[in-house]
Amino acid sequence: MEPSTQLRELISRHAVAPKQATGVQGLTLYKVGQPTLPTEIVYSPRICMVLQGTKEIRLAERVFSVGSAQYFIATVNLPVSARIEQADPIKPHLALTFELDREEIAKLLAETPSTHGVEQHDHTGIAVSQHTPEIVSAALRLVSCLDAPDDFDMMVKLARLELYYRLLRGELGPMLRQLATQGTNLAQIGRVTEWIKGHFAEAMSIGKLADMAGMSQTSLHRHFKAVTLMTPLQYRALIRLQEARRRLLLREASAREIGFEVGYDSQTQFTREYRKLFGRPPAADAAFLGGR
């Protein structure tokens, strides 16, 4: 049986929910029986492998389609809109995501020097590539750890390293090398996106972000937009609005209160930007989402 077939069977067996957390840190399995509406989410650095069906991801104005036999890597925190485009109960969407550990990758790079230098090209924060037999086999061994409770810890450790190694050797390896190498543009922009994600409700100085990245303000804008496809201010606004929508859906407070909580001083501006992104003003959108 081919590794990809084995991997589909493993995911199908272990995913008892559409989104299934596992005992392997950072590993989530997906089994979705029908197309979904777009969902706003912040992708942390991760790999996502699609084994069946199709996933669509919108980052700013760009759309990425990830079909079966493809994977994508996100190298920084990215606010995206994602949906399952192709799935049905007989042939559900099957996929896995695995969160990337920058320190683990950096350690592996140090132990296995590459003849390739670290490229300083600006990579978009998401890129899509085709599966390779080596990457699929490594992912299969990682998911197979769920069936090996007696040797779980050691097998997971080895499987994680193998998957990182195979990814580094693959087409998107240069992105991972940049992510894991201190001082590269991608690593520095990743530090900035991490800060904005954790402090989105606070006042933000472009000068402070530039100092954080070790860049001039002009360079920060150029590299930030190359990676995230938006400016730092657009990025923060999208993080704020996604968080506002999440809180509205949970009915944590009124739309007015939530607008202030996520960092808006002006209710008018909050309502205007929210409507522009989601198509409805906050209160109406909350009612729509609650009845969906």
Q: Each residue of 60-83: pLDDT tens digit?
A: 999 999 999 999 999 999 999 999
* Residue finishing a domain among 152, 180, 208: 180
Q: Tell me, what's the pLDDT at 122?
A: 64
Per residue, what are the HEC states of the chain? CCHHHHHHHHHHHHCCCCEEECCCCCEEEEEECCCCCCEEEEECCEEEEEEECEEEEEECCEEEEEECCEEEEECCCEEEEEEEEECCCCCCEEEEEEECCHHHHHHHHHHCCCCCCCCCCCCCCEEEEECCHHHHHHHHHHHHHHHCHHHHHHHHHHHHHHHHHHHHHCCCHHHHHHHHCCCCHHHHHHHHHHHHHHCCCCCCCHHHHHHHHCCCHHHHHHHHHHHHCCCHHHHHHHHHHHHHHHHHHCCCCCHHHHHHHCCCCCHHHHHHHHHHHHCCCHHHHHHHHHHC
Give yes or no: residues 125 and 41 share one domain: yes
**pTM of structure:** 0.90
Give yes or no: residues 170 and 243 share one domain: no
Give yes or no: residues 172 and 64 share one domain: yes
Give yes or no: residues 112 and 15 share one domain: yes
CATH code of the domain in which 239 resides? 1.10.10
Give yes or no: residues 159 and 286 share one domain: no
Would you say residue 187 lies in a domain?
Answer: no
Would you say residue 205 lies in a domain?
Answer: no
Number of domains in the chain: 2
Give yes or no: residues 170 and 240 share one domain: no
Range of the domain at 78: 3-180
Would you say residue 157 lies in a domain?
Answer: yes
Give yes or no: residues 174 and 91 share one domain: yes
Mean of per-residue pLDDT scores for the chain: 92
Give yes or no: residues 31 and 107 share one domain: yes
Give yes or no: residues 248 and 164 share one domain: no
* Nearest Cα residue to 32 out of 9, 55, 66, 10: 55
Give yes or no: residues 129 and 33 share one domain: yes
Residue 260 pLDDT level (bands cut at 50, 70, 90) = very high
Give yes or no: residues 141 and 78 share one domain: yes
Residue 23 pLDDT level (bands cut at 50, 70, 90) = very high
Q: Tell me, what's the pLDDT at 255?
A: 85
